[in-house]
Amino acid sequence: MKKSNFNPEQVSRILKEFDQGKDIHTIVREYGVSKATFYKWRQRYGGMEASELKRVKQLEEENSKLKRMYADLALELDMAKYIIEKKL
């Protein structure tokens, strides 16, 4: 997963500026983000404070680590089953 150039506080501040009435073209130009990225942030993190946003990002990272761990264990289990079946 690609690392974001913006920390949660910056994303929250950018979204608040839009909510306060700042034009999207100005925000995109000022911060150097694409419109697609901005709208994805708005869809995913709209209405959250910086602390909530930080917690969501931590949970997403933890979730991806757990998914990788599960995939590794499932692969090891399949290999063990294959070896046991072959020996019998």
pTM of the model: 0.60
pLDDT-derived band at 46 (thresholds 50, 70, 90) equals confident
Q: For the residues of 1-49, what is the DSSP string, one character each? A: -PPPSS-HHHHHHHHHHHHTT--HHHHHHHHT--HHHHHHHHHHHTT--
Q: Which residue, chain included where needed, has tokens 């690609």? A: 2
The amino acid present at 55, given as its one-letter code, is R
The pLDDT of residue 58 is 92
| 74 neighbors 82 (Cβ within 8 angstroms) | no
Helix (H, G, I), strand (E, B) or coil at 88: coil
The pLDDT of residue 2 is 60
The pLDDT of residue 28 is 92
| 64 neighbors 1 (Cβ within 8 angstroms) | yes
* Domains of the chain by residue range: 1-47, 49-87
DSSP conformational letter for 86 = H
